[in-house]
Amino acid sequence: MTPTLPAYRSTSDFLDDPDMKPIAKGIGGSDIATIVGMNKHESVWDVWAKLTGRKERFQGNVATTTGTELEPWVADVYRKKHNVSLVGPIAPLIEGYVRRSPDRLILEKNAILEVKTSLSYGARNIWGDESEGVEAVPDMYNCQVRWYMASPYDLRAVNTYDDFLALESHALIHGPTWTPEYSDIAVFMTGPEHRYYRIPHDQEISDTLLEEADKFWRHHVLKDIEPPPDGSKAAAKHLTERFKETTEHIKKPDATTQKLIDEYRKLSLLNKRIEKAMAKRKQNIQLCIGEDRGLGGSFGKITWYTQARKSFSKDTLYQSLMKHVPRETLDHLFSAANTVNETRIFRTSWSDKNDPTPQEISSCLD
């Protein structure tokens, strides 16, 4: 192989290139998670709009910048702990519309390493315990690494600034075709704490992802046909922003829309029954908790605790403050304007081990 330096050091550089057509940037790991409904942060419309040039791609924020800066260190901690050699960072690899950009390759293990930083509040709830394996990984990241394992790599097409000789040597000894058998996800999270999760390659899942991506590409991207709403918050946000202006016209629905209206009405009535049934059970659980903090068991944990919040009342200050008042009076007014409101917060943290069946859910609607 002849050494070829990648044009882009990172996926962000690749996606932010204004000279490249949006459609040429392909479907990446986050995109496929959205297409199959596993990314709560965006809708299928967002992916379609980005690929067709109707919407700018996410430019990053403090969290993503921090993650990029910490990535080499988190990867190195993994390397030392597992005593392996890492190849990367890897330049984005485009094959048709399939874009793959794993963080590192572990050639000796036929594996991929994906690095994540999760420094927000509640990170330990987002990521499950290591002992739970695949089930502990958020769906979005599960889809992402499976997308990176969906098909074999041609090492001759893989570019990296730092470890080209390792790629070339592996290709010469074992052949250019390289197939990952699993992906490890190294997560550095609030605590601070390092956690590692292993996602084994499953060809059936990979084939499903490739099939869904192909349908989306052919039916929506190539034909430039807008995908229907998918029920996500991102889709609701898009519709609100898209149709800001309204008229006074009331139009008749067509047959398809009328069917949707009928279904929506039925679901609305069912939802009211569900909400009432949930409220009844919630109140009885609160009655059981009483003065304690909560309940715990195989289902997980439910807490109902007092949370104090301070608030500053500007109205109290403005209505009371006058010129030339004594300092002690001002201090008293500031003290009076700061109030403490105590509210008991009811929260659930369910275990996924014993999810109820639809029949069991229906039996609760009394």
Judged by average pLDDT, the poorest of 8-22, 155-169, 247-261 is 8-22
Q: In the block, which residue shows the tokens 């202006």? A: 245
Name the nearest CA neighbour of 132 among 189, 44, 199: 199
8 A C-beta contact, residue 133 and residue 202: no
pLDDT digit string, tens, across residues 258-267: 888 888 888 8
CA-based torsion, 212, 216, 218, 221: positive or negative? negative
Phi-psi region of 191 (alpha: psi -120 to 50; beta: other; left: phi over 0): left
Q: Which two tokens stand for residue 76?
A: 């190195």
pLDDT confidence tier of residue 3, bands split at 50, 70 and 90:
very low
Averaged pLDDT score across all residues of the chain: 83
The dihedral built from the CA positions of residue 286, 290, 294 and 297, taken in this order, carries a sign that is: negative
Residues in the chain: 366
Residue 167 has pLDDT above 90, yes or no: no
Let me know: does 157 contact 172? Beta carbons within 8 Å: no
Residues 272 and 265: their CA atoms lie apart, in Å, by 11
* Helix H or strand E encompassing 341: strand 338-350
> Cβ–Cβ contacts within 10 Å for residue 286, how many?
13
- Of 319, 360, 316, the closest CA to residue 339 belongs to 316
153 Cβ neighbours under 8 A, 6+ residues apart: 93, 100, 177, 178, 179, 180
Q: Give the integer Cα–Cα distance in Å for 142 and 105.
A: 17
C-alpha span between 354 and 27 (Å, rounded): 34
| Pick from 9-23, 197-211, 282-296, 345-359: least confident | 345-359
Closest C-alpha to 55, from 31, 81, 80: 31
CB atoms within 10 A of CB 37: 15
How many CA atoms are closer than 13 Å to the CA of 117, on its beta-carbon side? 16
What band does 218 get if pLDDT is binned at 50, 70 and 90?
very high
What pLDDT does 110 receive? 93
pLDDT value, residue 327: 66
The per-residue pLDDT for range 226-237, each reduced to its tens digit, is: 898 888 777 788
Is the pLDDT at 42 greater than 70? The verdict is yes
Cβ-contact 75, 115 below 8 angstroms: yes
Token pair of 220, please?
A: 């929506």
Determine whether 220 is exposed, middle or buried from the number of CB atoms within 10 Å of its CB (0-12, 13-18, 19+): buried
pLDDT tens for each residue of 236-246: 887 888 887 87
Nearest CA to 128 out of 41, 195, 34 is that of 195
- pLDDT of 47: 92
pLDDT tier for residue 347 given thresholds of 50, 70 and 90: low
Q: What is the mean pLDDT of residues 205-216?
A: 94
Residue type, 261: I
Q: Once rounded to an integer, what is the mean pLDDT over residues 139-147?
A: 94
Look up residue 96 and give its amino acid.
Answer: G
Q: What share of the chain has pLDDT > 70, as a percent?
A: 81
Can you give the pTM of this predicted structure?
Answer: 0.70
Question: How confident is the model at residue 313, as a pLDDT?
Answer: 61
pLDDT reported for residue 334: 67
Task: Give the model's confidence band at 366: pLDDT under 50 very low, under 70 low, under 90 confident, else very high.
Answer: low
Question: If you average pLDDT over residues 160-169, what whole number do you get?
Answer: 79
Stronger pLDDT, 18 or 318, i.e. the higher one: 18
At residue 64, does pLDDT exceed 50?
yes
Find all residues with CB under 8 Å of 9, minimum gap 6, and list them.
89, 91, 161
Instruction: Give the model's pLDDT for residue 276.
Output: 93
Tokens coding 64: 């993503």
* Distance of alpha carbon 264 from the chain centroid: 28
